[in-house]
């Protein structure tokens, strides 16, 4: 009961003092992850199986090669695109967690009934709850820094647990965001 009274006192104090505004209203909170419930959608593109360890070596990384293929005409072969200016980098079929193997798909959202052309993969992204992390830019370094924030965030948040089902990066003209599927979020 005392704890509830103390929480109410803090809430009233914060509400009455703009300098003590809730975190989500302060400028520095703009980089904090937000919860989002998204409907299912379909992505068609090119896929490889890899690990973070393999990608970090630099010499055997498959993701950079896939981005190169995609940027040099590969994206043009994707049919029935729903969001022309948006690219999805999807992480799925996790072997375990961020230390295990996973499938990486680079593509565009497409009509659900559309089949994938030869050499491409179609993946149904399920409806799910995500923690959304903004990236500072779209460069490889900015994306890497955003993923480091993801690892740090889930490493210290006892109330938030990754689902390791399907995660994705959304690259568009409005910026880059990482969507991390969660199975439990308690604050």
Q: Look up the domain containing 96 and give its range.
A: 33-185
Answer whether residue 132 shows pLDDT above 60. yes
- Non-local CB neighbours of 15 within 8 Å, separated by 6+ positions: none
pLDDT digits (tens, 9 = 90+) for 40-82: 999 999 999 999 999 988 677 899 999 999 999 999 999 999 9
Question: What sign results for the dihedral spanned by CA atoms 98, 104, 110, 113?
Answer: negative
Question: What average pLDDT does this structure show over 171-177?
Answer: 95
According to the model, what pLDDT value does residue 6 have? 32
Q: Are residues 174 and 141 in the same domain?
A: yes
Q: Are residues 48 and 20 in the same domain?
A: no
Report how far residue 161's alpha carbon sits from residue 163's, in angstroms, rounded to the nearest whole number: 6
According to the model, what pLDDT value does residue 157 have? 76
Q: Are residues 161 and 97 in the same domain?
A: yes
Q: Are residues 103 and 180 in the same domain?
A: yes
pTM of the full predicted structure? Answer: 0.81
Q: Are residues 96 and 8 in the same domain?
A: no
* Residue 7: closest CA among 142, 164, 187: 187
Bigger pLDDT: 30 vs 3: 30
Q: Are residues 7 and 71 in the same domain?
A: no
Q: Are residues 136 and 147 in the same domain?
A: yes
Average pLDDT in the chain: 84
Place of tokens 């996973």: 102
Q: Are residues 104 and 153 in the same domain?
A: yes
According to the model, what pLDDT value does residue 57 have? 83
Work out how many domains the chain is built from and give that number.
2
According to the model, what pLDDT value does residue 158 have? 74
Domain of residue 124, CATH code: 3.20.80.10
């Amino acid at each position: 009961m005392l704890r509830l009274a103390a929480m109410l006192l803090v809430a009233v104090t914060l509400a009455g003092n703009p300098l003590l505004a809730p975190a989500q209203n302060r400028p520095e909170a703009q980089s904090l992850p937000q919860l989002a419930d998204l409907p299912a959608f379909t992505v068609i593109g090119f896929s490889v199986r890899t690990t973070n360890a393999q990608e970090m070596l630099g010499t055997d990384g498959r993701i950079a090669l896939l981005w190169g293929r995609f940027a040099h005409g590969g994206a043009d072969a994707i049919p029935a695109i729903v969001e022309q200016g948006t690219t999805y980098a999807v992480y799925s079929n996790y072997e375990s967690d961020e230390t295990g193997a996973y499938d990486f798909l680079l593509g565009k959202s497409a009509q659900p009934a559309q089949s994938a052309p030869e050499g491409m993969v179609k993946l149904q992204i399920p409806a799910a709850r995500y923690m959304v992390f903004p990236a500072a830019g779209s460069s490889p370094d900015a994306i890497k820094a955003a993923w480091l924030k993801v690892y740090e965030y889930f490493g210290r948040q006892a109330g938030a647990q990754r689902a390791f089902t399907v995660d994705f990066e959304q690259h568009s003209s409005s910026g880059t965001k990482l969507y991390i599927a969660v199975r439990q979020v308690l604050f």
